[in-house]
Amino acid sequence: MGMNRAAIGAAGSPTGGLEGFFRLRQHGTDVRTEVLAGLTTFFVMAYIIAVNPAILAAAGLDPRAVATSTCLVAGLLSIAMGLYTNRAFALAPGLGLNAIVAYNLVGTMGLTPAEAMGVVVVEGLLITVLVLLGVRKYVMDVVPFALSRAIAVGIGFFILFIGLRNSGVITFIPGQTGTVDGLLTLTPLNSWPIFVAMIGLVTTIVLMARGFRAAILAGILIATVIAFLVPGNVAQLPPDPLAGPDFSLVGQFSLGFFAKLGLLTAVLAVVSFMLSDFFDTMGTLIGVGGEAGYLAEDGDLVDAQRPLLVDSLGAVAGGVLSASSATTYIESAAGVAAGGRTGLVSVVTGLLFLLALPLVALVGAIPAVATAPALIVVGVLMVSVLSEEDRGASLGTTRRRAINFRNLDEALPVVLTMLVMPLTFSITNGIGAGFVSYVLVKLASGKAREVHPALYVVALAFLLYFLRWALFDARF
């Protein structure tokens, strides 16, 4: 945390090679440390190679092709981050963002996978424009701190719900006479698939509790092995496990979602995706940057424009390659904790993702019950943002440490945002409920001046979205 702006921006060492390019001595590190840190980051993040295909399979995408695109996006963007920013930030398709694609855009709104990826591309371009125009602080001002945290927590609950469902632990029971219509219930814990999921979950929790950095990946691998050993064909090898990468999803995106959804709904889908992506990125950059010493004395991220630009282009690349939006991973902190301080860490991580391409067909051998524990654990971890500090628009001065749930102005929109997402299986619905209720409560309590003018516009747009069936006879 001791580096200041002058130190980070100073001229590189006259020494050539890796030392000169990444300024290793200036950052107090060496090639061996950076390579080991890159290996650490990769193994902590590698679970996404299996989990991303498991999520996007719900959108009808081929797992091997998704795994290929996942490795491509993570590899190329992590290398770009390392070379352009000289920071130890690694990128990959974001959990939560892929759930929006599979369950919201495709599952709820009825878009094709290509159209859903078109939403990702447009969202990425929009964030890129915001970054280039230097208006990120304005966006941070517009959205209240409480709502930004609620969005992250709601997505966490959504991922947790998907994990519990994929594990088979919870079951949806259609309505029956004398029962609640659409009852969710605990599945009898007496099947081999649930046994496999519970072994994976317990393994992950125990390893995490003992500080093992690749606990999530280890949990997936151990659960997969158990799945092959138990009766019932819980797991099966793909027909050709060494088939190699499948690049068929590259370039498979479409902007036809504007015509299918109508302009209002299309714009709201893009904005909802953008808000989820934007605040996830900012929290990660500040969190990892603090550990790595990238923050100035006022708590601001030094030269933030560069990593923000790469991250925003990662969203575009994720949509173009049909891997879902790529974002900076909080798991980058594992490499920092191992001593990594420069972009060489990210380059090593990216190269390892590219080297994994020949093995992506093996992803087909990993059953959904083996990746379900990863979703459960990551979903729980995302709730931790509720305890994060509010650094304000400048990301400098701390104003408070947590959301005030005794204040109706905050409690109502936050709780609605967090619960509407998993209960309606829609990230957009949750964000919309939060914005509309926030503005309504402020108006009702005589605090209209505390609401940013832009929030009124966004809340009105979401209100029209919720009333689209009554007002426009919508069919989506």
Within 8 A by CB and 6+ apart from 467, the residues are none
Closest CA to 77 of 311, 423, 264: 311
pTM, rounded to two decimals: 0.85
The pLDDT of residue 94 is: 93
For 293, the token pair is 């010493």
DSSP notation for 268-332: HHHHHHHHHHHHHHHHHHHHHHHHHT-B-TTSPBTTTHHHHHHHHHHHHHHHHTTS--EEE-TTH
Q: What average pLDDT does range 52-74 have in this prediction?
A: 97
The answer to whether residues 74 and 80 touch, using CB atoms and an 8 Å cutoff, is no
Given a cut of 50, whether residue 235 has pLDDT beyond it is: yes
CA distances 142 to 33, 54, 137, 357, 366, Å, are 41, 35, 9, 41, 42
Domain boundaries, the chain: 19-471
The pLDDT of residue 10 is: 39
Given a cut of 50, whether residue 69 has pLDDT beyond it is: yes
Given a cut of 50, whether residue 9 has pLDDT beyond it is: no
Separation of alpha carbons 405 and 150, rounded Å: 12
Closest CA to 46 of 362, 364, 349: 349
Closest CA to 83 of 75, 92, 72: 75
In tens, the pLDDT along 354-399 reads 999 999 999 999 999 999 999 999 889 888 877 766 554 444 444 4
Separation of alpha carbons 363 and 353, rounded Å: 14
| CA-only gyration radius of the chain, Å | 22
For 160, the token pair is 């947790």
Q: What average pLDDT does range 3-30 have in this prediction?
A: 68
The answer to whether residues 95 and 111 touch, using CB atoms and an 8 Å cutoff, is no
Q: What average pLDDT does range 33-51 have in this prediction?
A: 96
In tens, the pLDDT along 245-295 reads 999 999 999 999 999 998 888 998 998 888 888 777 877 887 798 889 898
